[in-house]
Amino acid sequence: MSDMQWSEPPLPHDGGPPTIKNHTVTYHDGLLYCFGGYDGSINHMTLMVYSLKQQCWSKVYGNGRRSSLGSGESVDIITDSDILPNTPSFLSPSSSSSTFHHDYEVTGTPPPGRNGHTATLATRQITGGGRSTCIFIIGGWLGAGPLAASDMHILDITSVNSHDSTNHIDDANGNSDKTNERKRCNAAHWIPINPLHLQGPSPGPCNMHSADFIPTRQEIYVFRGGNGREYLNDLHAFNVDTFTWRVVESRGKVPLRRANHSSAFLVEREELFIFGGWNGTERLNDIHILDTVTSTWSQPHVGGVLPHPRAGMTLTAVRDRLYLFGGSGTSSKCFQDLHVLNRKDMSWLDLVHSSKSTDGSSSSQTSESLARKTNDKYKNTNAVKSDRQLKNSYLMEWDQSPDSSQQYHRATNNGASANPNETEPTPTLHVTGKSPGRRAGHTATAVHDRHIYIFGGSCGQDYLNDFFRLDTDPAHPPTTETHPTSLQLLGGRLRYYCNRGGGEEGDDNDDTFADVCFIVEGKKVYGHRMVLSLVSDYYRAMFSKKRRGGGFKESGGGGGILEIEVPNCSYEAFLMMMEYIYSGEEPKINIPLLTVELDNGDFDTSCCIKSSDEGSKVIETVVDLLQLADQYFLDHLKQICERRLQSTVNTDTVECLLQVAQKSNAVQLESVCQHFIRNRVEFSLHNKHNHDE
């Protein structure tokens, strides 16, 4: 993968999702499930679904039935007329908006509105040996009380988009009830969790934490974050089959206490990554890795250009790379930069961002130059206070002091050689398309282990609901033919084979496949029967007879090269013809002429050869070339010679050239000579004038 591309999926023009931050977006089976978030005024408890196939947001509404919770009590399901508190009008089932094309049904009691929670996709075993696909909602900030939430909710999405419209539901409390059987396709179900049915020590209140599913262990690893009063770094694991919490015992250096960090899990390596965050004093840009097999923490050295310290960013695993985007830095300034960590060599890759300006011109910047620009900008920017998402929401109160301890720098290997040539170059990725704007508190969801969908977030007081997609492995553009064609190769290379070869001792032109040799005025001119036959019908007829007599004879005692004597022809003219055959270029013939101004103000070069001796020699060569062109059926070359000889027609040459033209079937030259003879008197006056001068 050496290229990436940003794009914007279609969004509805008549409404759309709310502008929110600190929400969650989880992908499964062609759908993105968005839950919760904060819009600057309230916490949302809305469940929204985006279909990648239909490229639209869809309604989610209750069916008005009652659901057993497994503890003996039952609750009313939210009905179509009272879908969810704080639900925007575009999600109402009675809305006539064309924004949505498919309805999705949800049963059960939705969690209270919140932000800063996690939503983790996992599969769990149910009664009867089957498996269900669920989204586990953990913690978050509810907007009241001194502490964050400590509850858990499950959204069972097994039957959504399922071809089997009947799916037996085993609720999270271990109860099986036929009344919980769903008969409708595209139906999801909220399953409340009774804390009494959970086993093991629960993590307690948590907000701005991280949660990642470890498939080989059937556990969700929760890196605590904060609880509303303090920053934490304890690690807990929740078994989705047994509903058991445990404290993860680990070795190695544990990450510092922090919240609003980001995490990602590389399935193939079974490694959990923790990046950055806010520890109450400063933002961080460190990386920690937990080997979930050995339960060992490590903090590896990372090469390349390090991202600025930040919080509220996203870290997304795709194949063997981690994609970091956005976040909030010093003075609450949001980022819009993209960084890619290559796990194989543990380095941040160099990115070249190509974009187009408003005037249509294109430009590109490297990740290093962007980092330096951003750093300089922050140094010269006054501190700006950020908004508080809710009362007592300490996690979103960014520090206002400059982060002087962790500035931009390029990582170098500890103890590395001073010789820069020993450092391996960092691979470069090219990024095209319009990228998302500055933001933090957004989501970045991996789809099909290739695409990353960016949604929402905020930058200062601006809350967002825009949508972007990063293709980490875009299809190559249509293949173009940039190499020369066979005909172009022939045209470009053939000229170098003219009069080359023969293999004579001391000859530097050996092994060029010559198979014919012309003897002209005692000199050898080498050629190739196939080339000559392709251009000249005369040669094609000659060589097709494969005669060995009548001027044909083997040279060198049967060496395979035919020798052909060419009588009554100058060597210079014959060589010009051969060069024309092999190159297609007009022969370089310079006839020295004088330019004479006529009485009417025109200029004429006719009959004005500068030197009779010099001019006659050139004319003789051109005449020989004309006769050769006629003899070997090279009509284009013959016309070139006619044009060149036309300027030499005068009183002294006209008779001779007329005979040459008639003998050589040079129609155009003959016409010029006939015209000169008909107007001989006028041309004679011009010649006399030229002589007087």
- CA nearest to 318, candidates 166, 150, 446: 446
Q: How confident is the model at residue 684 (pLDDT cuts 50, 70, 90)?
A: low
Whether 412 is in a domain gets the answer: no
Say if residue 345 is in the same domain as residue 319. yes
**How confident is the model over 35-55, as a mean pLDDT?**
92
Q: Give the bridge partners for 462, in sequence order.
A: 459
* Spatial separation of the C-alpha atoms in residues 679 and 273, rounded to whole Å: 98
Say if residue 639 is in the same domain as residue 545. no
**How confident is the model over 362-372, as a mean pLDDT?**
54
Say if residue 74 is in the same domain as residue 212. yes
Q: What is the CATH number of the domain that holds 525?
A: 3.30.710.10
Q: What is the mean pLDDT of the chain?
A: 78
Whether 410 is in a domain gets the answer: no
- CA nearest to 192, candidates 231, 143, 153, 140: 153
The domain of 493 spans 486-583
Say if residue 222 is in the same domain as residue 99. yes
Question: What's residue 575's pLDDT?
Answer: 94
Dump pLDDT digits (tens) for 289-333: 999 999 999 999 999 999 999 999 999 999 999 999 999 998 878
Q: How confident is the model at residue 500 (pLDDT cuts 50, 70, 90)?
A: confident
Q: Which amino acid, 303?
A: G
Question: What's residue 59's pLDDT?
Answer: 67
Say if residue 235 is in the same domain as residue 375. yes
For the cut 80, the answer to whether the pLDDT of residue 383 exceeds it is no
Whether 113 is in a domain gets the answer: yes
Report the percentage of the chain scoring pLDDT > 90: 52
Biggest distance spanned by C-alpha atoms of the chain: 131
Q: How confident is the model at residue 83 (pLDDT cuts 50, 70, 90)?
A: very low
* Spatial separation of the C-alpha atoms in residues 439 and 492, rounded to whole Å: 56
Question: What's residue 28's pLDDT?
Answer: 95
Whether 57 is in a domain gets the answer: yes
Say if residue 454 is in the same domain as residue 494. no
3-state class (DSSP) for residue 518: strand
More confident position, 575 or 421: 575
Say if residue 299 is in the same domain as residue 217. yes
Whether 591 is in a domain gets the answer: no
Dump pLDDT digits (tens) for 116-150: 999 999 999 887 778 999 999 999 999 888 899 99
Going by their DSSP bridges, the two strands 31-35 and 314-318 should be labelled as: unpaired
Say if residue 548 is in the same domain as residue 688. no
Q: Which two tokens stand for residue 372?
A: 């330096």
Tell me which of 533, 548, 583 is where a domain ends. 583
Say if residue 431 is in the same domain as residue 558. no
Whether 303 is in a domain gets the answer: yes
Say if residue 451 is in the same domain as residue 527. no
Tell me which of 583, 611, 635 is where a domain ends. 583
Spatial contact of 181 and 189, defined as CB atoms under 8 Å apart: no
Whether 375 is in a domain gets the answer: yes
Dump strand ranges (E) for 567-610: 596-597, 603-604
Tell me which of 553, 583, 613 is where a domain ends. 583
* Spatial separation of the C-alpha atoms in residues 531 and 70, rounded to whole Å: 92
**How confident is the model over 494-510, as a mean pLDDT?**
64
Q: Length of the chain, please?
A: 693
Question: What's residue 489's pLDDT?
Answer: 86
Say if residue 511 is in the same domain as residue 631. no
Whether 420 is in a domain gets the answer: no
* Spatial separation of the C-alpha atoms in residues 267 and 91, rounded to whole Å: 35
With 0-12 CB in 10 A as exposed, 13-18 as middle and 19+ as buried, what is 534? middle
More confident position, 686 or 430: 430
Q: Give the bridge partners for 352, in sequence order.
A: 366, 430
Say if residue 269 is in the same domain as residue 246. yes
- Sort residue 670 into left (φ over 0), alpha (ψ -120 to 50) or beta: alpha
Domain count, the chain: 3
Dump pLDDT digits (tens) for 468-485: 999 999 988 787 778 888
Question: What's residue 129's pLDDT?
Answer: 79
For the beta carbon of residue 456, count every other beta carbon within 10 angstroms.
24
Q: What is the CATH number of the domain that holds 120?
A: 2.120.10.80
Spell out the alpha helix ranges (H) of 358-439: 367-379
